[in-house]
A and B are shown apart, each in its own frame.
Chain A
Amino acid sequence: NAGVMQNPRHLVRRRGQEARLRCSPMKGHSHVYWYRQLPEEGLKFMVYLQKENIIDESGMPKERFSAEFPKEGPSILRIQQVVRGDSAAYFCASSPDSFPEQYFGPGTRLTVT
């Protein structure tokens, strides 16, 4: 059973571009969580999704950030018009039906130049 996959592992974007981060949960997991780790800071919850539903997005910045988890395919975290402050490591985790068991992906390191 493959683990949680994230791609790309490293992403460089210029200010104003869009960033798309992908997360493929473990097989059989229908719950996905996104977390952000800013440099020298701890992890922070961003959003919790189930297939085709956003369950809790209380940790998402109000503008430029969106997330989806379609019926088919990976979960996508999308950041529009990136700014330097978006540079961070973005981790996703997946779980089977029972929260709070979670399995983390390797992360995507976003650098905005």
Chain B
Amino acid sequence: KNEVEQSPQNLTAQEGEFITINCSYSVGISALHWLQQHPGGGIVSLFMLSSGKKKHGRLIATINIQEKHSSLHITASHPRDSAVYICASATGNQFYFGTGTSLTVIP
């Protein structure tokens, strides 16, 4: 079983701030996903990573395979970024999910 831990659990930021969410996992993976979930809403896949770094708009995701660690960065945060961000490690046929980071961006 792959243990996935996220930090912080809750995060409040002022609009415009740079945000970092961290994810650590315990065993080797084939890929790591970052997901976004709005309250009462569905799940959107933001990134799938197996190495290095990916960027999409104001979002950047990095992964260090040797250290079993990934980060999600949000530059110039905006209130519409308020959501729960979940990392999920893909191991075998399964995803193992972190418990999520609840982000609130205040105008």
Contacts and interface: CB of A to CB of B under 8 A. Distances in A.
Contacts of A99: 30, 90, 93
Given A102-B33, A106-B42, A45 B96 contact: yes
Q: Size range of the interface on A?
A: 20 to 34
A104 B86 CA distance: 13
B71 interface: no
B43 interface: yes
A18 B99 CA distance: 29
A87 B45 CA distance: 24
Interface string A77-113: 0000000000000010000000111111111010000
Contact of B93 (A48, A105, A106): A48
Interface of A: 33, 35, 41-45, 48, 55-56, 58-59, 91, 99-107, 109
- 7 nearest A-B pairs in the assembled complex, by CB-CB distance: A100-B90, A106-B42, A104-B43, A43-B97, A42-B99, A56-B93, A100-B31
